[in-house]
Amino acid sequence: MILHKPFARLGGADHGWLKARHHFSFANYYDPQNMNWGALRVWNDDEIASRSGFPPHPHADMEIITYVREGAITHQDSLGNQGRTVAGDVQVMSAGTGVRHAEYNLEAETTRIFQIWIEPTERGGAPSWGARPFPKGDRAGRFVALASGLPGDGDALPIRTQARVLGATLKAGDAITYEFDPSRHAYLVPAVGSVEVNGLTLAARDGAAITQETAITIRALEDAELVMVDAA
């Protein structure tokens, strides 16, 4: 089963400094039939204006993954962590028992990110933050685990949930196949380019919610950059 969520039909908000589209219910966008996809709770498509951002605010008991599509995001938190994550790279914050953080676009250009929240397997634990580069060339023609709580993904940023966040790039005409347990929930978004997923066409920034499938084959109709969550 694959459910198509066209970008144009997503919930959203325009705050001037922030233009956001929500794949699932978030903030003032509420749809009781669209609260989550398995353990995946939030997938926000955010455009953050230059010299602006999210001021300090709290979180607890959530794994928060930021995939930077364009520009850069600068992180600060109550643990004393600071870092700048640039396009193509990833940061992860395990909120645990509680943490305050801020995310700023200090660049001269608009920053565009996917912000992904996944529910942790267990509540509590000390909060933590980390970031690392993931060169797009290393993802050419294959999925690479960017953040994971599953065994065998040792090069990924750790998260405290039975899920993985994956990235891939495809040249037009190329295809990759991903196999998984049909009881799990996958969610795929092309950050760039249009693709076919088991014959279903997705435009850039559309979502595909996938379950009860043993495998998906993704064929690029254009040069494409893919982000996918495989969650319980």
Question: Which tens digits make up the pLDDT trace of 3-19?
Answer: 999 999 999 999 999 99
Residue linked to tokens 């801020």: 102
Q: What is the pLDDT of residues 55-88, one digit of tens each?
A: 999 999 999 999 999 999 999 999 999 999 999 9
Confidence of residue 166 (pLDDT cuts 50, 70, 90): very high
Q: What is the pLDDT of residues 119-138, one digit of tens each?
A: 999 999 999 999 999 999 99
Task: Quote the number of domains for the chain.
Answer: 2
Evaluate whether 48 touches 16 at the Cβ level (below 8 Å).
no
**To the nearest whole number, what is the mean pLDDT of the chain?**
97
Enter the tokens of residue 82.
């600071």
Full residue range of the structural domain in which residue 21 is found: 11-136
- Same domain for 123 and 24: yes
Q: Count CB atoms within 10 A of the CB of residue 67.
A: 26
What's the confidence (pLDDT) of residue 35? 98
* Residue 76 forms part of a structural domain: yes
Please tell me the total number of residues recorded for the chain in this structure.
232
- Same domain for 42 and 64: yes
The dihedral over CA atoms of 142, 115, 39, 23, expressed in degrees to the nearest 10, equals -100
Which of 84, 104, 136 terminates a domain? The answer is 136
What's the confidence (pLDDT) of residue 155? 92
- Same domain for 130 and 20: yes
* Residue 225 forms part of a structural domain: yes
Residue linked to tokens 């694959």: 2
Which of 81, 107, 136 terminates a domain? The answer is 136
Q: Report the relative pairing of strands 128-132 and 90-94 from DSSP bridges.
A: antiparallel
Confidence of residue 206 (pLDDT cuts 50, 70, 90): very high
- Same domain for 149 and 102: no
- Same domain for 59 and 131: yes
- Same domain for 187 and 99: no
> In angstroms, rounded to a whole number, what is the distance separating the alpha carbons of residues 165 and 92?
11
Q: What is the pLDDT of residues 173-198, one digit of tens each?
A: 999 999 999 999 999 999 999 999 99
pTM, rounded to two decimals: 0.97
What's the confidence (pLDDT) of residue 142? 98
State the DSSP string of 93-123: EE-TT-EEEEEEE-SSS-EEEEEEEE--SSS
CATH number of the CATH domain containing 58: 2.60.120.10
Residue linked to tokens 């919930």: 11
Enter the tokens of residue 141.
């023609």
* Residue 124 forms part of a structural domain: yes
- Same domain for 214 and 116: no
CA 109-8-194 angle, 5° bins: 75
What's the confidence (pLDDT) of residue 84? 98
* Residue 4 forms part of a structural domain: no
- Same domain for 152 and 128: no
Confidence of residue 106 (pLDDT cuts 50, 70, 90): very high
Which of 112, 136, 160 terminates a domain? The answer is 136
